[in-house]
Amino acid sequence: MTTRKRGITLSHLKLTKKSYEMGLKTQAALSRKIATIEKSDSIPTDIVKRAFSEKPIAEHSAQRIATALKAPLSSILLGSEDMQRDEYIKQSQHNEQDNKNQNNTTFGNNSPIVTENIITGDFNLNFNKD
């Protein structure tokens, strides 16, 4: 079995934001846009799905997506800020689970909840008041 080397990872958040700016509200819409630009009958759904899943894809494929989004490739790459955001979310979820597993008299039912606006990238920290 031959494995292909893939090396460019795109940011789910940045792809989503750019897609919405272009009026493309689904991955399928972005795939169709790429096929239209390339005048192809083949719709690259697998490539777009891999990109949105933050899995490595070929540089040529990443450039096809950037072209469809009318964005420089560098503006949709997965960067350190994405990894910091993901680490923050994981840590918050871990802390929330720890709070649920403990007999927490300090917070009671006021567990912290982190929400993210996927379009703007803003985070909110709220407390559940049951």
pLDDT category at 79 given cuts 50, 70, 90 is: confident
Angle at 116 between CA 114 and CA 122, to 5 degrees: 115
Mean predicted lDDT score pLDDT of the chain: 80
Indicate if the pLDDT at residue 5 is higher than 80: no
pLDDT of residue 101: 59
What is the rounded distance in angstroms from the CA atom of residue 94 to the CA atom of residue 91? Answer: 5
Both tokens of 74, joined, read 């560098």
The residue among 22 and 106 whose pLDDT is bigger is: 22
Sign of the dihedral defined by the CA atoms of residues 65, 68, 72, 75, in that order: negative
Task: Classify the phi-psi angles of 74: left when phi > 0, otherwise alpha if psi is within -120 to 50, otherwise beta.
Answer: alpha
Amino acid identity at 52: F
Torsion of CA 5, 6, 7, 13, to 10 degrees: -160
DSSP 8-state code for residue 71: S
Sign of the dihedral defined by the CA atoms of residues 44, 86, 77, 25, in that order: positive
pLDDT of residue 104: 46
pLDDT of residue 81: 72
pLDDT of residue 47: 95
Indicate if the pLDDT at residue 12 is higher than 80: yes
Indicate if the pLDDT at residue 78 is higher than 80: yes
